[in-house]
Amino acid sequence: KRRRDPPLPPSPPADPIIGHLRMIPQSDQEMFFYNLGKQYGDVVYLHVLGKPMIVLNSVKAAVDLLEKRSSNYSDRPDFPIFELMGWDPTVTFLHYGKQFQTQRKLLQGYLNKNECVNYHPFQTREARVLVQNLIANPEARDGLLSRFSTAIVIRLVSGHQITSDDDYYIRMAEEVGATAANSGPPGSTAVDFFPFLKNFPSWFPGTYYARYARSVRKVVRNLHDYPHDAVQEQLKKGTARPSFLTSQLEMLNNNPGGKGVNKLEDILGAAGAMYIGGADTTSSSMSIFFLAIVIHPECQVKAQEEIDRVIGQGRLPELTDRDSLPYMECLMQESLSIFFNLLLLTQTIGVPHRSLEDDIYNDMFIPKGSVIIANIRGMTLDESMYSNPLEFNPDRFLPKDQGGLGEPFPITTFGFGRRVCPGKYLADASLWIAMASLLATTTISKVIGNDGKEITPEVVFISGIAR
Ligand code: HEM
């Protein structure tokens, strides 16, 4: 059959048997994929030990396949490292099928656009707490950003209100964040390519991530058990606050196995997905925003002028002000996606998808079971969509009659099709209100060293699910 099919997508020369294994780097994969795209086109074929891999480097190819043909392209590959950590069954890592659909539905019920408007008051509150804490202690920035994003997710999932930096939930989320950040590039560590390595002794080359994953299993388990136990206890005492777990566990306690009542493992899987998907992504996006502003103070001045003009001095920004602050919007979109420097990446290769059936796209054969990498970073560098994509330029999104370049907001930040990030409305609002509140009240600048000179931060990223 294959002989009659069109050829595979273009591909660089490969080694016998192991294919492109030696070529694929363990970090900064997005630039490797992007450069392949420049050489071979926006759909590139790679294989590792006979396992097919397709890299998509353009928005068009990603939309054509992952969105328009989403019933074929919404599976996930196996993630042995995350399974070893105990992240199964969590929607992010589930194969396409009934359990995936159940958990997705659960999440969509809580995180859809309309529902998310109800969370604006506590997102706004947390943004103001963040600003207050930052003013008091700017050096604690990383911890405070993490507290901000954790507080929102924890409140939504379990109803718990974080009121101090010593809160147990913060420690728990930090521990879990560290496990995800140290887990290597999702879907492409040595153990992902050679799953049998996970059973090899720890001194064996390539087993590092498997050993690490096993050592943090209890941290991941605790993240699921602790909020569950706490909410069950509160339900018994009648003190549970409204939250995802409160309503789901209440239904389960009252009518286990009933129609529309979800299984405990799915409730905990969806809750776990919100913790892992929601905390570090938001705080690392905020870190990137700080970095962008430190390096581009002129953008801060422009956004502050807009805020002062539109909102004035007498009150703080609200999410309802968003449409009246177009430059603020452009600044946020630019800091989320397009950077002037190759190292400044918040969005890289997303989470890989997998195809379920053989397919033909633009006269290229895409074999069933291909791991599909949507190279989000590569897409934001597409020169046919963005002029000077490496330049940090929020004005690119403003309409031409307002002095901008009229380029479109990126649609790639939150992924594609049936796997698109279910937390995108929540994240989007958290980021906007935090950024706007910060710029309305503070000025972000470089630290001054003991020698009286400004310190330009060193830009270093860790590869993981968030960078
Ligand atoms: C700046 C913040 C965020 C960014 C940039 C982001 C980005 C992404 C991306 C790129 C994906 C993969 C999509 C794909 O496979 O095509 C994803 C998946 C996911 N995100 Fe987010 N996300 C953010 C915040 C959140 C929040 C706040 C939550 C929940 C509260 C969340 C929950 C999830 C879940 C559960 C998945 C897995 C979906 C699935 O496999 O079906 N994310 N996110």
Q: Is the CB of 106 under 6 A from ligand 1?
A: no
Phi/psi of residue 19, each to 5°? 65, -130
What is the 8-class DSSP label of residue 48? E
Q: Is the CB of 423 under 6 A from ligand 1?
A: yes
Measured by CA distance, the residue closest to atom 16 of ligand 1 is: 415
116 marked ligand binding residue: no
Q: Is the CB of 414 under 6 A from ligand 1?
A: yes
Residues linked to residue 364 through DSSP beta bridges, in sequence order: 361
Q: Which of 119, 414, 425, 428 to mutate to test the pocket of ligand 1 (most atoms within 8 A of CB)?
A: 414
What is the pTM for the complete model shown? Answer: 0.91
Confidence check: pLDDT of 141 > 50: yes
Q: What is the mean pLDDT of residues 134-154?
A: 93
Q: What is the mean pLDDT of residues 268-278?
A: 90
Q: Which pLDDT band, with edges at 50, 70 and 90, does 341 fall under?
A: very low
ipTM over 0.95: yes
Q: Is the CB of 104 under 6 A from ligand 1?
A: yes
User: If you write DSSP's letter for every residue of 11-38 in order, what string do you get?
Assistant: ----BTTTBTTTTS-SS-HHHHHHHHHH
Q: Is the CB of 47 under 6 A from ligand 1?
A: no
Structure confidence by residue, pLDDT tens digits, 431-446: 999 999 999 999 999 9
Residues linked to residue 360 through DSSP beta bridges, in sequence order: 365
pLDDT at 22: 84
Structure tokens at 35: 């450069």
Where along the chain do its domains lie? 29-455
Q: Is the CB of 149 under 6 A from ligand 1?
A: no
- Which residue from 66, 64, 58 is spatially nearest to 418, judged by alpha carbons? 66
Q: Which pLDDT band, with edges at 50, 70 and 90, does 383 fall under?
A: confident
Ligand 1 centre to CA of 342 (Å) is 23
Q: Which pLDDT band, with edges at 50, 70 and 90, does 343 fall under?
A: very low
Structure tokens at 170: 């913060």
Using CA atoms, how far residue 431 sits from 152, 278, 319, in Å, is: 11, 12, 11
Q: What is the mean pLDDT of residues 194-219?
A: 72
Structure tokens at 17: 């048997």
Structure confidence by residue, pLDDT tens digits, 19-73: 888 888 766 777 889 999 999 999 999 998 888 999 999 999 999 999 999 999 9
Q: Which of 288, 338, 421 to mutate to test the pocket of ligand 1 (most atoms within 8 A of CB)?
A: 421
Euclidean distance between CA atoms 56 and 59, whole angstroms = 8
* CATH for 29-455 (1.20.1270.10, 1.10.630.10, 3.20.20.70, 1.20.1250.20): 1.10.630.10
Euclidean distance between CA atoms 215 and 195, whole angstroms = 17
By CB atoms closer than 10 A (0-12, 13-18, 19+), residue 260 is exposed
User: If you write DSSP's letter for every residue of 56-115 in order, what string do you get?
Assistant: E-SHHHHIIIIITTTTTS-B----HHHHHHT--S-GGGPPSSHHHHHHHHHHHHHHSHHH
Confidence check: pLDDT of 204 > 70: no
Residue at token pair 């997710």: 153
- Which residue from 67, 64, 30, 70 is spatially nearest to 337, judged by alpha carbons? 30
Residue 12: cis peptide before it, omega within 30 degrees of 0:
no
**Of all atoms in ligand 1, which is nearest to the CA of residue 346?**
5
At position 47, the amino acid (one-letter code) is: H
Measured by CA distance, the residue closest to atom 24 of ligand 1 is: 278
CB 319 within 8 A of CB 126: no
Q: Is the CB of 459 under 6 A from ligand 1?
A: no
